[in-house]
Chain A
Amino acid sequence: MITRKRLVAGVFGLLVALTGGSFPAVATADSEPAGKPAPKVELVLDVSGSMRATDIDGKSRMAAAKQAFNEVLDAVPPEVRLGIRTLGADYPGKDRRTGCKDTRQLYPVGPLDRTEAKAAVATLAPTGWTPIGPALLGAAEDLEGGDATRRIVLITDGEDTCAPLDPCEVAREIAAKGIHLTIDTLGLVPDAKTRAQLVCIAEATGGTYTSVRHTDELSERVSQLVDRAAEPTLTPVATRGADRCEKAPALTPGLYTDRETFGEHRWYRVDVLPGQELRASVSVAADRAVNRDYGVLLRASTVHGREIVRGEAAGDGRTDVLSTGLRYPSPDIDDADTDGSGKPAAETVCLRVSNSFSAPAGVKTTPGLPVELSIAVVDGPDEAGDAAFLGLGRGWLFLGLLIVAGFVTGVLWGRLSRWRVSVWRTN
């Protein structure tokens, strides 16, 4: 028979699962999580010569950006550490080499002094080149340190003119450092090439791209992105899966990131005690142009290679991630092997993440695709002993059957007792 301890075990198991070791306590949206590093945001503003163009609500792009910045600076949540970096603000000359190094930090990342920041923005005048790649590298450096979530908001009106450093590659390399950095891009009245480049940058880091034609759109969107950075988020831990189970890293419950190139297999190990249930889910992100059809396979196997259970997903078309998951309740064995201390020995489950993404020719395959792996170990489920709830019945037919059975039993019992009484009387 099944052991039923759901009421108590379920409630406490849930509490443990929600607040215990596997996840950080979930902070409510309005309270700043104590001890959590402050989120960092850097606004990267293009101050190149093309920002003089007057095509946003009858004003110049620069004027629109300044107005939007003022509104954004007024509304920055207090816990956010905000910095501002410019590109193309200082060098008006024709020399490409010098022009392509023209990026500087206008306001350092830290607690915000609104007056100072606004004064700094007011001094800007459209000047030079558009070195997006170097500006992103600079911004990533500005945001270094700590374990906070990081976000770069890039506002530009033109494509990077500083080849061969492709800003899209730069963005992917920054993201591959595993520092939880997201780049959101905004294009001011963008042309097709600018748009493609900005979309590529955003895609490479899991950010968003917005095309801006009005001042209010710009300020609303930037405010939204800054607020988004202030949201408390789980930060995954970087790990590195091995190519075989024996060498794989042992994972405890939590959230992990890794990188996996096209067609690569990555192994991880999780220890599960008898009677516990392993829950794993994996998301493989398509952070670059990939071919139309793709798939992801998450396979749990024993150390000897026997497959226990798998999760698989396939898809096609435009996507950000492809994800799948699995659960494996380890059987609860009474005569479990003990490891000497009286405790049952944990079973090692090998998890393999593989993907069938493929890239069109010309797309770089390194660094690999971002992998997010979520592991949880909870108490095992109550196995079903019957298809229906506790074997209880339901429905009119069931009721009718009970009534008929009861009636027939009553009649038979009545007959039987009459017969017994008459037998007794005759004797």
Chain B
Amino acid sequence: MRTVRNLTTAALLAGTALLGLPGVAGADSPSPDPSATGGGAAAPTEAGTSFRTATAVRPGRHATAQASTGDYLYWQFPADAAERPTVRATVKLPQATALQAASTWRIDVYDGLRRRQACRFGSQTHTVPAGTSSVELTCHLRTVRAWAEPWSGDPLPGAYYVRLTAVRLAATDVGQPLDAALDIDVEDTGGASAVDGGLSAPLVQGSSATVEPEDGWASGWWSTRWLWTAGGAALAALAGIGGHRLTRGNGRPAVPGRV
């Protein structure tokens, strides 16, 4: 029957459209794949010592630095709207000069205006006993929003600073050599966290290096919500045609008086 066939076609079309959506959404998200981004600048092997001298790191690169215990190590990375960054830092202490007393290590993440950003979870602070040779720290940040009210501390697109240091350190343990490593992963949350409004420029200021995502800052015009809404409209139109067809029955409408 024609109506049924039409409905089936509509359903199939709808299904195809819907299945297509996540595919497109997936292609849209820049994956922090090191092999895909390996062609650019080399991974940094130094860390800065202040916000002003923070070393720029691209998400997906493995940044390393040699320093002394007690140093404050600074890096910065770009995070754009709808991204959810994760910072992982490793401190390795050469065995010979392992720490003689317990110490507490911490990573702090600050946004482009040097406001401290909260970690959703992750071991941001770690207290280790004497003799430890390795410390691992993690910070899972909140989703970066394209816009927020000035009175809120919500993460906004721009530079993010990472500070790695020992916040509690015995006097005897200061100045020992250490190797630090930093990895930044950025997960794209896609249209789910696309909010309205936007900054005219990302929060990047007051530092010698400037950071920018590999393919530039988002223009603020694209979101997978366009696809969802357009797809929804198309499906609604099909459903409307289907519904309209249903009311027409199998042929000419009955004329009152002729029945």
Contact residues of A with B, CB < 8 Å? 2, 6-7, 9-11, 13-14, 16-18, 22-23, 26, 187, 190, 192, 195-196, 198-199, 206, 208-211, 213, 217, 220-221, 224, 227-228, 231-234, 236, 255, 277, 279-283, 309, 311, 313, 317-321, 323-329, 372, 374, 376, 378-395, 398-399, 402-415, 417-418, 421-422, 425-426
Asked if B221 contacts A209 (CB within 8 A), the reply is no
A398 and B151 in contact, given A232-B208, A311-B115, A407-B239 (Cβ under 8 angstroms): no
**Smallest Cβ-Cβ distance to B163: which chain A residue:** A320
Asked if B147 contacts A426 (CB within 8 A), the reply is no
In the complex, per-residue mask of B184-212: 1 if CB is within 8 Å of any chain A CB, else 0: 00000001101111111111111111100
What are 5 A-B pairs at a CB distance below 8 A?
Answer: A210-B175, A228-B46, A233-B208, A321-B51, A384-B196
A378 and B49 in contact, given A7-B221, A220-B66 (Cβ under 8 angstroms): no
A324 and B198 in contact, given A318-B169, A406-B236 (Cβ under 8 angstroms): no
B101, CB-defined interface residue at 8 Å: no
**Smallest Cβ-Cβ distance to A325: which chain B residue:** B113
B171, CB-defined interface residue at 8 Å: yes
In the complex, per-residue mask of B231-259: 1 if CB is within 8 Å of any chain A CB, else 0: 11101111111111111100001111100
Across-interface contacts of A383 in B (CB, < 8 A): 147, 197
CB distance from B150 to the nearest CB of A (A): 5
A26 and B208 in contact, given A17-B201, A318-B166, A414-B245 (Cβ under 8 angstroms): yes
Across-interface contacts of A11 in B (CB, < 8 A): 216, 219
Asked if A321 contacts B50 (CB within 8 A), the reply is yes
A234 and B200 in contact, given A208-B68, A388-B195 (Cβ under 8 angstroms): no
How far apart sit A265 and B151, CA to CA, in the bound complex (Å)? 22
Across-interface contacts of B110 in A (CB, < 8 A): 323
B95, CB-defined interface residue at 8 Å: no
A406 and B208 in contact, given A317-B167, A422-B256 (Cβ under 8 angstroms): no
**Smallest Cβ-Cβ distance to A405: which chain B residue:** B236
CB distance from A364 to the nearest CB of B (A): 20
CB distance from B66 to the nearest CB of A (A): 7
Across-interface contacts of A199 in B (CB, < 8 A): 70, 171, 174-175
**Contact segment of B26-34, B84-92, B132-140, B222-230:** B222-230
Asked if A407 contacts B201 (CB within 8 A), the reply is no
B177, CB-defined interface residue at 8 Å: yes
B114, CB-defined interface residue at 8 Å: yes
Asked if A372 contacts B219 (CB within 8 A), the reply is no
User: Which of A220, A324, A411 interacts with B246 by CB under 8 Å?
Assistant: A411
Q: Which of A211, A282, A408 has the most CB of B within 10 A?
A: A211
A376 and B247 in contact, given A399-B228, A426-B257 (Cβ under 8 angstroms): no
User: Which of B165, B243, B254 interacts with A411 by CB under 8 Å?
Assistant: B243
How far apart sit A328 and B53, CA to CA, in the bound complex (Å)? 26
A415 and B247 in contact, given A210-B68, A211-B68 (Cβ under 8 angstroms): yes
A283-B51, A324-B116, A402-B235 known, 10 other contacts, Cβ within 8 Å: A26-B209, A231-B208, A319-B167, A320-B165, A384-B196, A388-B195, A399-B235, A406-B243, A414-B245, A418-B248
How far apart sit A317 and B231, CA to CA, in the bound complex (Å)? 54
Q: Which of A217, A318, A404 has the most CB of B within 10 A?
A: A318
Across-interface contacts of B115 in A (CB, < 8 A): 281, 311, 313, 323-325
Asked if A326 contacts B52 (CB within 8 A), the reply is no
B183, CB-defined interface residue at 8 Å: no
**Smallest Cβ-Cβ distance to A328: which chain B residue:** B150
A283 and B228 in contact, given A413-B244, A422-B256 (Cβ under 8 angstroms): no
Asked if B201 contacts A14 (CB within 8 A), the reply is yes
Asked if B242 contacts A382 (CB within 8 A), the reply is no
Asked if A329 contacts B150 (CB within 8 A), the reply is yes
B38, CB-defined interface residue at 8 Å: no
B98, CB-defined interface residue at 8 Å: no
CB distance from A267 to the nearest CB of B (A): 19
Across-interface contacts of B167 in A (CB, < 8 A): 317-319
Across-interface contacts of A382 in B (CB, < 8 A): 147, 197-198, 200, 220
Asked if A421 contacts B253 (CB within 8 A), the reply is yes
Asked if B208 contacts A192 (CB within 8 A), the reply is no
Across-interface contacts of A255 in B (CB, < 8 A): 52, 206
**Smallest Cβ-Cβ distance to B255: which chain A residue:** A425
Across-interface contacts of A213 in B (CB, < 8 A): 97
The 10 A-B residue pairs whose C-beta atoms are closest, nearest first, are A410-B243, A325-B113, A406-B236, A414-B247, A374-B206, A384-B197, A211-B175, A410-B240, A389-B194, A379-B200
Across-interface contacts of A279 in B (CB, < 8 A): 113, 203, 205
Across-interface contacts of A317 in B (CB, < 8 A): 104, 167-168
